């Protein structure tokens, strides 16, 4: 199937919706306080949520999902939210190992918020961010193809 085929349009849309919702949910988790709670929740929900994300299209009848494109988009958003523990877990574990006074020390030395991100947090989380994004992209492609397979 050539790349300019119309069949890639729904696939790209579903993949984008899944990846955006997973990334937004993981970012919200990282921004919230009580990191130890979120680490425990991400560890306990990682595998069941990922399995449920893959089973989501088969839980609904094919006529129900093909009837409405909004239904497919809602399933894609839910699948993205279910993927968020897999994306946030590597970053949360690195943040839990970081010394709590790192940001305070950088702020005391005169580093602003953007400077702290560039000099402190990005080098600390660089490989885990790339791993999470790569894992998110891979799971997004698999979930979008699963969703399209179940609706055809």
C-alpha pair distances (Å), 2 with each of 16, 31, 50: 20, 41, 30
Let me know if 63 is exposed, middle or buried by CB neighbors in 10 A (0-12, 13-18, 19+).
exposed
pTM for this prediction: 0.74
Give the model's pLDDT for residue 4: 46
Q: Is the pLDDT of residue 64 over 80?
A: no
| Residues 31, 37, 42: CA angle, nearest 5 degrees | 80
| DSSP secondary structure code for residue 147 in this structure | H
Residue 142 CA to residue 129 CA, distance in Å, equals: 20
Task: Please write the tens of the pLDDT for every residue from 78-87.
Answer: 888 888 888 8
- What are the boundaries of each domain within the chain? 8-151
Mean pLDDT (whole number) for 53-76: 72
């Amino acid at each position: 199937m050539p790349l300019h085929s119309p069949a890639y349009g729904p696939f790209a849309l579903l993949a984008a919706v899944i990846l955006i919702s997973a990334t937004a949910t993981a970012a919200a988790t990282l921004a919230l306080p009580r990191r130890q709670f979120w680490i425990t929740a991400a560890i306990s929900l990682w595998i069941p949520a990922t399995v449920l994300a893959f089973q989501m299209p088969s839980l609904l009848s094919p006529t129900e999902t093909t009837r409405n494109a909004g239904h497919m988009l809602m399933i894609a958003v839910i699948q993205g939210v279910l993927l968020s523990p897999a994306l946030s877990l590597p970053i949360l574990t690195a943040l839990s190992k970081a010394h709590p006074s790192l940001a305070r020390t950088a702020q005391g030395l005169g580093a602003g918020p953007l400077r702290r991100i560039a000099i402190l947090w990005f080098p600390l989380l660089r490989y885990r961010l790339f791993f999470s994004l790569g894992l998110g992209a891979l799971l997004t492609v698999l979930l979008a193809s699963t969703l399209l397979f179940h609706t055809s």
